[in-house]
Amino acid sequence: MMNVATPWMRTVARWLIAREAAAGYPPEAKAQAAFRVCEKLRHYLSTFAGVAGFRSLLSRALILAKAEVSWLSAVEVKADGSLAELGSLATQHDRDEAEKGGVVLLAQLLGLLVTFIGVALTLRLVQDVWPDVPSDLMDPGKEKKQ
């Protein structure tokens, strides 16, 4: 199965999840940070790709992520492109396993975006949704230089 989640995509996914986890939610809601990231991307991308387009992209990302994180097999993409069960399932796992599931899913989603629209547009999209993303994080070559 193709893996489009590069180390750089995983780094970006970790930052997005950490950003959402630190956004003033109560501690018990931190496990649902990946769900909130997906929701923000869904609202933004559905404007351009339509609900069906985003749903297809997220469904493919979920299939790829399930190969690496088994508990994601209980997660489904609903007709509107939102995720069913991700938030509640994440709270049933220890913090590291919950974070891994979110990182892998988001990294796959970002990787698919890069495949279809390119690095520049994917970076622009992330910066449109999260304007405070550090500029050095948005350099895909940085991972290779370190």
pLDDT, position 86: 64
pLDDT, position 143: 55
Structure tokens at 92: 């049933």
pLDDT, position 43: 95
State the residue for tokens 């949704």: 129
Cα separation, 59 vs 53, in Å, equals 10
What are the residue ranges spanned by the domains of the chain? 7-133
pTM of the model: 0.88
What is the SS3 assignment for 84?
A: strand
State the residue for tokens 């986890």: 21
Considering just the CA atoms, what is the radius of gyration of the chain in Å? Answer: 14
Average pLDDT, rounded, for the chain: 86
pLDDT by 10s per residue, the chain, length 146? 566 788 999 999 999 999 998 877 766 566 688 889 999 999 999 998 999 999 999 999 999 999 999 989 889 999 999 988 766 666 677 777 878 888 999 999 999 999 999 999 999 999 999 999 998 887 777 654 44
